[in-house]
Amino acid sequence: MTMAPPQMIFVNLPVRDLEASRTFFGALGYTFNPQFTNQDAACMVVSDSIFVMLLVEPFFQGFTPRPLCDARSHTEVITCLSAPSRAAVDTLVDKALAAGASEPMPARDYGFMYQRGFQDLDGHLWEIAYMDGAPG
């Protein structure tokens, strides 16, 4: 019996300044796949199966007839990524803050889960969470 390849996720986010976004996420330690990166888009590699497509707003608009949400004033989605420890949560969020992000809410500790978040340069919300005993 052959196993199907793991399902991948591609989160698509509109950005105003692609180079600023690449610099910001590069400061957090993420890399970019050059095969899917050009002047309109950058493919940020989160893991072997998670990618974030940073798309300049006019290019992003070509994929939808609906108006874009201004993430600096409205919330459309919160992207949550797991971390291997509480310290890793703090390290990544602290890197984001040092690179120009803001922290919209204080850290939350639920005992079984610790999370902190940041708002990136375009206002997109990111949560980083450590879950004690999480599957996977």
Q: What is the pLDDT of residue 136?
A: 52
128: Cα separation from own chain's centroid: 9
Q: Where are the beta strands (DSSP E) in 1-136?
A: 9-15, 31-33, 41-45, 50-56, 78-82, 108-109, 113-119, 125-131
Question: What residue spans define the domains of the chain?
Answer: 1-63, 72-136
Residues 6+ apart with CB under 8 A from 90: 107, 116
Q: What is the pLDDT of residue 2?
A: 78
Q: At what angle do helices 86-98 and 18-27 cross, to 10 degrees?
A: 140
State which fold the 1-63 domain adopts: 2,3-Dihydroxybiphenyl 1,2-Dioxygenase; domain 1 (3.10.180)
Name the pTM for this structure.
0.87
How confident is the chain (136 residues) per 10-residue block, as mean pLDDT?
A: 84 97 98 97 97 97 94 93 96 98 96 96 97 70
Q: Which amino acid is at 56?
A: V
User: Comparing 1-63 with 72-136, is the CATH topology the same?
Assistant: yes
* CA Rg value for the chain: 16
Over residues 11-32, the pLDDT tens digits come to 999 999 999 999 999 999 999 9
Tokens, residue 93: 């969020």
Quote the CA–CA distance of 3 and 72 in Å, as a whole number.
42
Look up the CATH superfamily of 72-136. Answer: 2,3-Dihydroxybiphenyl 1,2-Dioxygenase, domain 1 (3.10.180.10)
